[in-house]
Amino acid sequence: MNELTPKRTAKDFATDQEVRWCPGCGDYAILRAVQKTLADIDAEPENTVFVSGIGCAARFPYYVETYGFHTIHGRAPAFATGIKLANPELDVWVVGGDGDMLSIGGNHLMHVIRRNVDVQILLFNNEIYGLTKGQASPTSRAGTRSPSTPMGSVDSPVSACGYALGSGARFVARGVDTQQKYLPTILKRAYEHRGASFIEILQNCIVYNDGVFDDITAKPVAADRQVLCEHGKPLVFGANSDKGLRLDPDTLLIEVIEVGEDGPEAAGVLVHNETNHVIAAMLAAMDDDHLPVAVGVIYCNPGDSYGDGVAAMKAAAHKKSDGISLDELMHQGHTWTVD
């Protein structure tokens, strides 16, 4: 019967609820990309669950025609872990913002990643608290002026991808809300990855932090300020693909070089190997003016998922228990009869 069922479209993954983000919010674009991805992968709506914490991004589940659980601030990864433990067959997506996942929920993000729970984690990073009206967030750049930091913030920001890698992530990617063509590609890769898949999506908050990524994403600068990481391909960028990344053999740091006429290989440009953790950490960390920002799949190195481990542990428990029932368990040890 399956072949007779018409394949769903992105629209089939839209709910009847009015979307209540601010007009022009980057979340709309991400929602479109996710709905398209769900159609592309032929997701089964009844076996798909979107779980979120609190914040603008966390309203996401209300707009996706699947199962959804809008939980409490920062804790979505813990709920998602419980859902997967109860029913490993469900496809679970976790959605949250930078405050939700890296501030109040930073602990849970670390643990869902290091356990390698088989979920997709979408972190919408707009470098600001939106729903509470514009306070500095843990990803806000130093000096950010906000209602809570009128003199400019004094905290150093955390790198979302760096945090994920440091927590033991086996899949780390970065995308941009407006890249409608490429974002579904990353989301599909995340879906296919078995284990925790972490995707940072740079997202513009039009009200409280408008244009914060313009230096990376604006059309005139985008080609020079972003490098797309594709496994097996040289890390080149620039409007004419004329620049590349090279590992300086003396400092063991990444540097930008001109590709030159003989091509990237001759120039010694790094070929992206998404299984290389050391290079991935360097790519994820690139955020100053001299180096482009890495987008695409920065690291992917699959291993056993948490679900695999739990299943093996339970199988071992069954074997060890020798099928003892609760009744038998209650009769184990010393018992005595009173006549």
Partner 1 sequence: MTKIDHVLDASPDVSTREELESAVVRFAGDSGDGMQLTGGQFTQATALAGNDLATFPDFPAEIRAPVGTTFGVSSFQINFGANRIMTSGDDFDVLIAMNPAALKVEMSRLKKGGLLIVDTGTFNDRNLAKAGFEVNPLEDGTVDGFNVVALDVSGMTQEAVKEFDVSKKEALRCKNMWALGFVYWLFGRARKTTQDWLQVKFASKPDIASANIAALNAGHAMAETAEMPNGIHGFHIAAAEISPGLYRTVTGAEALAWGLAKGAELADLDMLFASYPITPASPLLHLLAKMQHLGITTFQAEDEIAAVCAAIGGSYAGSLGVTSSSGPGIALKGEAIGLGLVTELPLIIVNSQRGGPSTGLPTKTEQSDLYQAVYGRNGDSPLVVLSTRSASDCFEVGIEAVRLATKYMTPVMLLTDGYIANAAEPWKIPDLKGYEPFPVKFHKDPEGFHPFLRDDKTLARVWAKPGTPDLLHRIGGIERSYDTGHISYDADNHQKMTDVRRDKINGIANDIPAQTVELGPTSGRICVVGWGSTYGPINRAVDDLLKMGKDVAHIHLRHIWPMPANLGELLAGYEYVLVPEMNDGQLITVLRAEYLIDAHGLNKVSGQPFKIAEIEDAILAVLEG
- Residues in touch with partner 1 (CB under 8 A): 15, 17, 45-51, 54, 61-62, 65-72, 75, 77-83, 85-87, 89-90, 107-108, 110-111, 310, 313-314, 317-318, 320-321, 323-327, 329-331, 333-339
Q: Identify each DSSP E strand in 211-312 by its residue range.
A: 226-229, 236-237, 243-247, 254-258, 293-300
Smallest distance from partner 1 to CB 202, Å: 26
- Cβ-based nearer residue to partner 1, 110 or 164: 110
**CA-to-CA distance for 254 and 270, rounded, in angstroms?**
9
Q: Which is nearer to partner 1, 3 or 89 (CB)?
A: 89
Q: Which of 202, 196, 173 is nearest to 110 (CA)?
A: 196
Q: For the chain, what's the residue count?
A: 339
Beta strand 91-97 pairing with 48-52: parallel
**Residue 275 beta carbon to partner 1: minimum distance, rounded to whole angstroms:** 27
With a CB cutoff of 8 Å and minimum separation 6, the contacts of 217 are 176, 178, 202, 204, 225, 226
Rounded least distance, CB 18 to partner 1, Å: 10
Choose between 34 and 90: whose C-beta lies nearer to partner 1.
90
Identity of the residue, 16 or 262, whose beta carbon is nearer to partner 1 in the bound complex: 16
Q: Which is nearer to partner 1, 150 or 323 (CB)?
A: 323
Cβ neighbour number for residue 86 with a 10 Å cutoff: 8
End-to-end CA gap in the chain: 65
* Of residues 18 and 289, the one with the C-beta less far from partner 1: 18
What is the SS3 assignment for 265? Answer: helix
Minimum CB separation of residue 311 from partner 1 in Å reads 10
Nearer to partner 1, 27 or 65 (CB): 65
For the bound state, the minimum distance from the C-beta of residue 68 to partner 1, rounded and expressed in Å, comes to 4
For partner 1, the closer of residues 78 and 293 by Cβ is 78
For residue 336, the minimal CB distance to partner 1 (Å) is 5
**Per the structure block, which two tokens stand in for 129?**
């608290």
Taking Cα atoms as reference points, which of 256, 173, 177 lies closest to residue 217? 177
Min separation Cβ 158 and partner 1, Å: 18
Distances (CA, A) of 287 to 225, 226, 310: 9, 10, 38
- Determine how many CB atoms are found less than 10 A away from the CB of residue 257: 16
In whole angstroms, what is the distance from residue 235 CA to residue 243 CA?
A: 9
Pick 26 or 68: Cβ nearer partner 1: 68
Torsion of CA 321, 324, 328, 334, to 10 degrees: -20
Minimum gap (Å) between residue 101 Cβ and partner 1 = 14
Question: Which secondary-structure segment (H or E) carries 243?
Answer: strand 243-247
Report how far residue 98's alpha carbon sits from residue 56's, in angstroms, rounded to the nearest whole number: 10
Residue 205 has φ and ψ, to the nearest 5°, of -95, 110
Least distance to partner 1 from the beta carbon of 112, Å?
Answer: 9
